[in-house]
Amino acid sequence: ARLAPRRGKRSVSMREFEDAKDKVLMGPERKSMVMSQKEKELTAWHEAGHAIVALNVPSSDPVHKATIIPRGRALGMVMQLPTDDKLSRLAILMGGRVAEEQKFGMDNVTAGAASDIQQATRLARAMVTRWGLSDSIGPIDYAEDQGEVFLGSQLVKSSHVSEETSRKIEEEVRKLVVDGM
């Protein structure tokens, strides 16, 4: 509602609702961010990779919007309307990196995929350790945030996962992320 008067309007339109939703979900536009033509092209290819995979993976969340306008900490993003298919989400997260590899080659993949890799790894780890979505690990909760106790300035963590199980978890997480590519 505050956007309308700033734009010289007397009433709120769908444009103001859409812009407000984008700001909340994707972060504020960084209008001061100046991107070179090369950065714009690379970002466009990266985000196109996310969008193409999202549009073609069965049961994935529907693509709502793709942008290369810098918002928050991201140079661009693809926004999807959420559903519950986690495997599709892994593939879509890795789609940007794959698009960069295909267009620019392995030697020219940027750090832009770092956030995607981090999100994919977190999702895969939750799939394996929390939701029991790994046949070799089974339906056991191996979440890492259990057993943490605050003692002064130290965090003491009691591990209830054997070295062998930990190795299996890492293998399963890696397999899920790589298969998502």
Cα angle, residue 64 at apex, residues 30 and 69 outer, rounded to 5°? 20
* Cβ within 8 Å of residue 124, ≥6 positions away: 90, 172, 173, 174, 176, 177, 180
State yes or no: is 47 an active-site residue. yes
In whole angstroms, what is the distance from residue 94 CA to residue 181 CA? 5
Q: Phi, psi (5° rounding) for residue 45?
A: -65, -40
Q: Return the structure tokens found at 150.
A: 């605050």
- Which residue among the candidates 47, 100, 148, 171 is catalytic per the annotation? 47
Cα angle, residue 122 at apex, residues 73 and 47 outer, rounded to 5°? 45
Q: Residue 19 corresponds to which amino acid?
A: D
Q: Residue 175 corresponds to which amino acid?
A: K
Q: Phi, psi (5° rounding) for residue 64?
A: -100, -40
- State the catalytic residues: 47
